[in-house]
Amino acid sequence: MKARAFSYFRAATIDQALDAHARAGDDARFIAGGQSLVPALSLRLQAPRLLIDITHIDELRGVRREGGHLRIGALTRHCEMLSEPLIAEFAPLLHAAAPFVAHPAIRNRGTFGGSVALADPASEFPAMTLALDAEIEIAGPSGRRRVKADDFFIDLFETSLQPGELITAIYVPLFRADQRFAFDELARRRGDYALVGCGMLATFAGARIDDIRISFFSVGNTPTRVRGVEATLIGSRLDAERVVAAQGALEGDLAPPESDEVPPAMRLHLARVLLGRLLGRLGEGA
């Protein structure tokens, strides 16, 4: 339960961090909040030669408006999702999801960028970047780039991050008056990983849904958008019949894996129940 020996470098700038990683090759890991990485090191699931601490890089901090987006610095802690007024106003879905992320002491330390980079399919925030149509800003040896959340999550703990790259910020389109959101998850105990979780963001034209993005977590190898469900909802009113149709479409979108704890059919059932509840709340203007 103790990490293997490693060297430690505290980077002051992004360039320093990238340079250190380039020199160490595959044997380096960036550390920010460390709330998932430290247990992985303790269990020796990972044993890098070098740990590069990026927590003191100013450029990775802060939440601010930038054009039509909210720029959320990668080092923004989970607890700040609850306390930062700009998040509550312009990214309320993240504000709603935050209390479900682990428990308070973990939220005091864990970072948004770290959660997205890890891409745990059972985590709340990676899935919410999908619902929000967020863009992930990445810095690496070959420069900066921005990747749509839709293109970021590839497979189990696999993202489009290349070795030596780090997330600098996440850009979330500003929440608008014609939009509504809903979030919830089903877990055995608050703070545990969800059996099924879901967040959604809808744009309304009057009583009709003009656009909707629905993202599930804990249902497969990656955070999962349910495009078939979204298609049944776009252009329609959220009446009871349509909610049932949306629930019916879920089967085509989700294929939960076999697991000892929760059989796929049960997980699908829970997803259906959760979807119904959230669409109900959306209909009430939640």
- Tell me which residues touch other proteins (CB under 8 A): 1-12, 15-16, 19-20, 23-24, 27, 31, 34-35, 38-39, 41-42, 49-51, 53, 55, 79, 99, 102-106, 108-109, 189-192
Between 80 and 253, whose beta carbon lies closer to other proteins? 80
- Residue 226's nearest CA partner among 131, 151, 112 is 131
CB of 165 to other proteins, least distance (A): 17
Between 79 and 244, whose beta carbon lies closer to other proteins? 79
Tell me how far apart the alpha carbons of residues 13 and 49 are, in angstroms, rounded to a whole number: 20
Q: Tokens representing 121? A: 């399919």
Between 107 and 213, whose beta carbon lies closer to other proteins? 107
Residues 6+ apart with CB under 8 A from 49: 6, 7, 24, 27, 28
Q: Tokens representing 104? A: 């308070």
Between 40 and 266, whose beta carbon lies closer to other proteins? 40
Residue type, 24: A
Q: Tokens representing 146? A: 């921005």
Q: How many helices (H) and strands (E) does the chain have?
A: 12, 14
Between 74 and 130, whose beta carbon lies closer to other proteins? 74
| Beta strand ranges found along the chain (DSSP E) | 7-10, 28-31, 50-53, 63-66, 69-73, 135-140, 143-148, 153-155, 158-159, 166-173, 179-186, 196-205, 208-217, 224-225
CB of 90 to other proteins, least distance (A): 23
CB of 59 to other proteins, least distance (A): 15
CB of 256 to other proteins, least distance (A): 25
CB of 24 to other proteins, least distance (A): 6
Between 1 and 177, whose beta carbon lies closer to other proteins? 1
Alpha helices in 174-263 (DSSP H): 227-233, 240-253
CB of 22 to other proteins, least distance (A): 9
